[in-house]
Amino acid sequence: MPKVVDKELMNQQIVFAALQAFVKHGFHNTSMSKIASEMGIAKGTLYLYFKSKDQLIEAITKQHFHNLKDRLVSQQNFNSVEALLSHIEGTLLISDEDSQFIPVFFEVFGPSFSSDKFINEYSNFFNEIAQFYTENLESLQTQGLIQQDLSPKYFGRVFVSMLDGIILHKGFFKINNTDYNLMVKEVIKLLRYGLN
């Protein structure tokens, strides 16, 4: 009897439109009305799918980090330094779409950085990535493929910080792709020489 609608699809469409608007104008300069009107729907409809603007950005963020982790952690292990370097290069060459989200993230969640709960969540995220690198470094080290004189545990963690720094700078400063690719090449060179 009732009118039926694909809620899941609508959900995704809202998330997509909102993200686009946030990237373009910033979170605080994007009103719910604006999102609605750009979608050609009424503001009230947004509130049928998301209780609040906060809940909307939360959903976007959750999705972003979910995708991110899949990209950062490879399922297979690496049996050579070059395989590892290749994965790292792939990790660094993030899409503009992804890097554009970075300023939005900091704009929205900057004020949360004093919350322990918030920090712990992201701390765990990066620790898991670090663990992935640590395990691969240990394996390569056992096989004698990289320097014995480095600590996989600490190198793994600091390495993640470094990668994050590079990605953050791309996002913050909108470094153009030509320059950025050359920068990535330098990192790979450094690692190739430094790990052996």
**Interaction site with DNA (CB under 7 A):** 1-5, 7, 10, 29-34, 40-45, 47-48, 51-54
Minimum Å gap between C-beta 153 and DNA is: 40
Minimum Å gap between C-beta 14 and its own copies is: 20
Q: How far is CA 129 from CA 97, 164, 179, 183, in A?
A: 21, 11, 26, 22
Judged by CB, which is closer to DNA: 42, or 119?
42
Judged by CB, which is closer to its own copies: 90, or 194?
194
Rg, the chain, Cα only: 20
Judged by CB, which is closer to DNA: 29, or 123?
29
**Torsion angle of alpha carbons 135, 140, 144, 149, nearest 10°?**
-50
Distance CA 44, CA 85 (A): 49
Q: For the chain, how long is the longest CA-to-CA vector?
A: 71
Judged by CB, which is closer to DNA: 9, or 182?
9
Whether 178 and 172 have beta carbons less than 8 Å apart is answered as no
10 contact, one of DNA, its own copies, none, CB 5-8 Å limit per kind: DNA
67 contact, one of its own copies, DNA, none, CB 5-8 Å limit per kind: none
Judged by CB, which is closer to its own copies: 44, or 144?
144
Minimum Å gap between C-beta 66 and DNA is: 23
Quick count: other Cβ atoms within 10 Å of Cβ 74? 15
Quick count: other Cβ atoms within 10 Å of Cβ 159? 18
93 contact, one of its own copies, DNA, none, CB 5-8 Å limit per kind: none
Minimum Å gap between C-beta 61 and DNA is: 16
Distance CA 147, CA 98 (A): 33
Query: For the chain, how many residues are written?
Result: 196
Distance CA 177, CA 174 (A): 9
Binding site for its own copies (CB under 8 A): 25-29, 103-104, 106-115, 119, 122-123, 126, 147, 149-151, 154-155, 157-166, 168-170, 172-175, 179, 182-187, 189-191, 193-196
